[in-house]
Amino acid sequence: MKKVLKIGFDLDGVILYNPVRIFRPLAKKFLKPIKASFLHQNKDSFYFPNSLFERWLWKILHKTSFRINTGYDDIKKLSKNKKIKMYLITGRYSFLGQDYHTWLKKISAKKTFIKCYYNKQNKQPNQFKEDMIKKLKLDIYVEDNWDIIEKLNHHTKAKIFWLTNILDRNIPYQLKFFSLLEVCRYLKKLV
């Protein structure tokens, strides 16, 4: 293993516990075709809320990330290890900036992460993450959304850790974890 391990973490569903993320497979199945036809968006692209109403709804949905995930204390401790550099990279769009900054304070992000980034320019979330992984030359990125995992694996060399959920857990994947604690235990073994 090389000298310093650079690790990126997603926010919603990884650092923050988000029970709604288990609906991703359901939402994908039932909502995407509807979204594509009504909103004239490419069905393979991630949804971007354009109207004020949609943005309001989107903010409410992000309120479902309502607490810090179990295991974050261990992540904080691990961040003190000189062989590790941690970054926070979330695909959250620009209009969620205020909530994002509130969470950064709540999790004392400055003490844990070298730097934190959110998707200010409203790129497709997977594209934003891909760009950041390449820019920061990350070795590992921890993500909860299976759709994003698939895309990142195609376009980056980083090892993408998957924090899975009850509904998706049967999808075969080598770097699959069931909790942030488990991710942390694995990372400890690497340094």
SS3 67: strand
CB nearer to Mg ion: pick between 10 and 130: 10
Interface residues with Mg ion (CB under 5 A) are 10, 12-13, 144
- Angle at which helices 125-136 and 146-155 cross, to 10°: 40
Q: How far is the CB of 13 from Mg ion (least distance, A)?
A: 4
Q: How far is the CB of 55 from Mg ion (least distance, A)?
A: 18
CB 178 within 8 A of CB 169: yes
CB nearer to Mg ion: pick between 10 and 139: 10
CA distance 42 to 45: 5
Q: How far is the CB of 1 from Mg ion (least distance, A)?
A: 26
Q: How far is the CB of 164 from Mg ion (least distance, A)?
A: 12
Q: Which phi and psi angles does 177 have, rounded to 5°?
A: -130, 150
Which residue of this chain has its Cβ atom nearest to Mg ion in the complex?
A: 13
Q: How far is the CB of 12 from Mg ion (least distance, A)?
A: 4
Q: Which of 76, 90, 78 is closest to 122 using CA atoms?
A: 90
CB nearer to Mg ion: pick between 12 and 168: 12
Q: Where are the alpha helices (DSSP H) in 12-170?
A: 24-39, 52-62, 72-78, 97-106, 109-112, 125-136, 146-155
CB nearer to Mg ion: pick between 144 and 168: 144
CB nearer to Mg ion: pick between 6 and 62: 62
